[in-house]
Amino acid sequence: MSGKKCASPYRWVILTVYMLITIAIEIQWLTHAAVVRPAEVFYRGQFNPASFFNIDFLAMSYMLLFLVMSFPASYIIDTFGIKKALTLGAIIAGVFSISKAIFAASFLGVVISQIGLAIAQPLILNAVTAITVRWFSLSERGLAAGFGTLAQFVGILIAMLVTPVLVGSDPDLPTYGTGFEKMLWIYGIISLIASIGIITVMKEHPINSDFESQNERTSFGKGIFNILQNRDMRIMMLVFFIGLGMFNAISSMTDSISAHNGVKDSNGLIGGLMLIGGIIGAIILPILSDKFRKRKLFLVICIAGVIPGIFGLTFLGNLGLDTVNTYSLLLVSSFVLGFFIMSAGPIGFQYAAEVSYPAPESASQGMLLWVGQLSGMIFVAGMSINNNQHLETFMTVFALLTVVIFACVLFIRESPMIRNQS
């Protein structure tokens, strides 16, 4: 993995189209998550709200399919390259985004389309560190990974804040539970345009690049084995198992968490401010990590900052404050949580790629995403069962586990690539 500067200006075009398809696939993940209650009205009679196959299953399907598709997707990226892998993911995403809009009024049709989109997701998300290594120098990779991950947050933010505007989310208005067809068509067209962008613009690496000669990596299978033997990667897998799983669960259940805290309107603000905080953090902290040539320090800062955010989101609703003050403090807690937990992602992905070299970058990132999706699926299933009966218990457990991963991240070693260039 060479640290030699890659001067091709086309790297920014590559990063831009990658960000667009990432935004699109993440919008599709959470099209219904911020408007669960209105969606239950729109699809009334088509499913049992108390069953496993409820509205929350639409978000959970992404996590479930990621468990099945993550390693095959990483293998495709490593074996056939980012251009072919992303083109395949873009084609699948474009087709099922439109089918989701066509069958918007059918809960079964939406579920089937969502499963197709879930298959495309790992082909897209698992490519971010492979793109940074092929197109960016070591001094820019934290920044590039930050923007690649930032795109995920932008997509989630759009789903959280724009969706309630596009559908009837106010229970006091007669439009409550309407507008889902329009919303899915808008998002479907956005996804189709982003897919076309990947198909027409993506390239494997810069012209005349010596990437292959300077980057002798192990095979995908051997890379996975080496990752599992790596002490620092095992610690990072535990950190992502808890941290990413917690983020996936909270993102998938923001409307339910709002309802649990007494927020009447499905306006998406708690989830939205978490994403806004994450977007700001994902720009600032990875840049600082590159500038000061520190990965471990900024991972410790990120996890330390998560603690007050998750504690506030978990316990403020039980303090007996008036509704206005409770809601305001919940919004602050959500912003703080997002700023730090979502900044840890790009720094953690880049740290993993560096500490696990010469394993393929898609293998290290895929492993971290896989464990986070596994835990996220378990967490969402437990939180949503029996009409969210155990949601409060899970949030309390999240708060306690955050302290555990803070202690864990103190024991990782600095990236050897960073040490060698210091």
DSSP string, 242-268: HHHHHHHHHHHTHHHHHHHTT--S---
pLDDT of residue 321: 65
pLDDT of residue 329: 86
Among 176-190, 202-216, 234-248, the range scoring the smallest mean pLDDT is: 202-216
Sorting pLDDT into bands at 50, 70 and 90, what band is 260? confident
- Burial (CB < 10 A; 0-12, 13-18, 19+), residue 148, is buried
Quick: pLDDT tens for 4-39: 444 588 999 999 999 999 999 999 998 998 888 899
Domain of 314?
A: 10-206+219-412
pLDDT over 50 at 350, yes or no: yes
Domain membership flag for residue 351: yes
State how far the Cα of 263 lies from the Cα of 191, in Å rounded to an integer.
31
Quick: pLDDT tens for 280-295: 998 899 899 988 889 9
Domain membership flag for residue 3: no
pLDDT of residue 2: 43
> How many domains in the chain?
1
Domain membership flag for residue 180: yes
pTM beyond 0.95: the answer is no
Torsion of CA 117, 162, 59, 70, to 10 degrees: 50
Domain membership flag for residue 419: no
pLDDT of residue 99: 98
Quick: pLDDT tens for 299-347: 999 999 999 999 998 887 666 666 667 788 888 999 999 999 989 988 9
Q: Which residue type does 158 have? A: I
pLDDT of residue 4: 45
Domain membership flag for residue 404: yes
Among 155-164, 235-244, 248-257, the range scoring the smallest mean pLDDT is: 248-257
pLDDT of residue 298: 95
Quick: pLDDT tens for 121-177: 999 999 988 898 889 887 788 888 888 888 988 898 888 889 989 998 878 888 888
Domain membership flag for residue 375: yes
pLDDT over 70 at 213, yes or no: no
Among 50-59, 63-72, 266-275, the range scoring the smallest mean pLDDT is: 266-275
Report which DSSP code applies to 359: S
CATH number for position 117: 1.20.1250.20
Give the three-state DSSP class for 178. Answer: coil
Query: Which residues contact residue 249 at a Cβ distance below 8 angstroms, ignoring those fewer than 6 apart?
Result: 376, 379, 380, 383, 394, 398
Domain membership flag for residue 21: yes
Domain membership flag for residue 213: no
Report which DSSP code applies to 33: G
The average pLDDT across 241-252 equals 88
